[in-house]
Structure 1
Amino acid sequence: MPSTDAPDLRLPYDANILFDAPLRTERLVLRPLAESDRWDVWEYQRLPEVLRYIPWPERTREEGFAHTAKRAGLHRLERDEDALFLAMGLVGEPTTSPDAPDRAHGGDRVVGDIMLRVTSVQHAQLEIGWVVHPGFQGRGLAVEAARAVLGLAFRDLRPHRVHAQLDARNEASARLCERLGMRREATLLEEEYHDGEWEDTAVYGILRREWSAAR
C-alpha cells in the first residue's frame, strides 16, 4: 500500500562537514572529492572499461583534471539537479599523486567516487551513482561505500526514494543495486546514444521505509 507520508527532504545539506568528520567503513574513508584527488581519479577516468558504461567522453589528462576540479567544487544540495561527489579513499593504499603530502605515509588512494544528486525536491527524490577503478573491483568496496552513503542519505536527508540509473549491460552495477536492497523498476529502451550505438538504461530504486525495514 502506498505511503501517505508527506515529502520530508531535509535540505539544504552542506557536505563540507564531511571533510572534518568523514564517513568511515571497514576499509574506506568517504569525504568530499577534492581537486588534489585529480591524479587518482585520472587513473580510472581514462580507462576504456570505465568509459564503456559511464557516458564520459575521452579526455586528455588536462581535461580530466579540470573535470575533477569541477566536481570537487560541488558540496551543497539545495535544489533540483544539485549534486555532490564523495571520494572513496582506500585506507593504507598509496596514492598515485606525485605531490600529495601524505604519499610517503601510504595513502589513502582514491579508488572511486560516489554521487548523490537531487532529482526532485518537491517529491523528495535522490539519485545515487558510483564509479570504481576496475583494478579494485571484486573486493566489495563499492557496496561498502554505497551502503554508507545510502545510510547517510536516508538518515540525514530523509528522501522518500533513492534511485540509480545505469547502463543496462552493466551487470556488476546491477548486482550492486540488488545487494543494496534496490529493485529493478524499469528498463528504458535505447534511452541514450553513446559510442555510436543506442543504449538501454536500467532504473533501480528503494523507498525510505524499505531501507528502514531492512535494518
Structure 2
Amino acid sequence: MGFFPDLPITTERLTLRPFTRGDVDAVLDYRGREDVALYLFDAPLSREECALAVQQRILQTSWSEEGDKIVLAAVLSESDTLIGELSLIWRSEDARQGEIGWIFHPDHHGRGYATEAAGALFDLGFQGADLHRIFARCDARNGSSWRLMERLGMRREAHFREHALFKGGWDEEFVYAVLRREWRNGG
C-alpha cells in the first residue's frame, strides 16, 4: 500500500508543503540552534548539513514501504515564513501504525502553530493513509513536546527510564499515542 497525499495541506493559518531548495536558510535558522538541538539526535546543524537535510526532505512526500517518511515544511500562510517541520513515518503496514514528529522555531512557540499543524497531520494519517494508531516520542525533559501531545488528545503509554545513552547521559523517553477512533471522534 503506497500513500501519495495531495499536497500542500492548508489550515487556518498554515500551509504544510514539501520542502524546496530555497528553504535552507530558514531551516538553518532553527536547526542551527543549540536550544532546538537539545532534545534531537543531531547536534546543531551547519549550513552544509541543513542543505543536505533539505535535499533529503524534498523527496520525502509519500510512502511506498515501511519506514518511509512524509516531511513537510510548516509555513505561515500570511507571510510565507517557514517556521518548522513535521514528519509522519510509516512504522507498520500490518498494524497500520505511524509516528509523528515536529520541530518548530522557538520564536514561534506559544501561538498554537504546532497544535494546528500536528492536527492536520493526524487528519492526513487517519483519513488519508487509513492509519489505526499514531504515536510520538520525546525526551521526558521536553515539556513543550509532551504537553503538545496531551493537548492533541494523545495518551502517555510509556515512560522509559534510563533506556539509552543520549548525548553522554541516560535518556528518559515518553511515548504517547492516539487511536483513529479517539481522534476527534473520527472513527
Q: Which of 85, 96, 99 is residue 71 of structure 2 equivalent to?
A: 85
2:166 paired residue number: 194
Q: Deviations over 1:80-117 (max 9, x none)?
A: 11111011001233xxxxxxxxxxxxxx1110011000
Does residue 2 of structure 2 align to residue 12 of structure 1? yes
1:33/1:113 contact within 8 Å kept: no
Q: Which amino acid aligns with 1:109?
A: T
TM-score by length of 2: 0.94
Q: Separation in 2 of the partners of 1:68 and 1:90? A: 18
Does residue 85 of structure 2 align to residue 119 of structure 1? no
Shift of 1:194: 2.4
Shift of 1:169: 0.7
Q: Deviations over 1:147-206 (max 9, x none)?
A: 111111111111110000111111111111111110000011223322211211110000
Shift of 1:61: 1.1
1:152 paired residue number: 124
RMSD over equivalenced CA pairs, Å: 1.5
1:177 paired residue number: 149
Moved over 4 A (4+): none
Does residue 44 of structure 2 align to residue 54 of structure 1? no
1:25 paired residue number: 11
Does residue 135 of structure 2 align to residue 128 of structure 1? no
Q: Percent identity?
A: 39
Give the secondary-structure state (helix, strand or coil) at the position aligned to 1:202: strand
Shift of 1:36: 2.0
Shift of 1:214: 6.5
1:192/1:201 contact within 8 Å kept: no
1:70 paired residue number: 56
Does residue 100 of structure 2 align to residue 109 of structure 1? no
Q: Separation in 1 of the partners of 2:167 and 2:146? A: 21
Between structure 1 and structure 2, the one with the greater Rg is 1
Equivalences for 1:131-142 in 2 at 5 Å? 131-142=103-114
Q: Which amino acid aligns with 1:137?
A: H
Task: Please list every run of 5 or more consecutive structure 1 residues that lacks an aligned counterpart in the other structure.
Answer: 1-10, 94-107
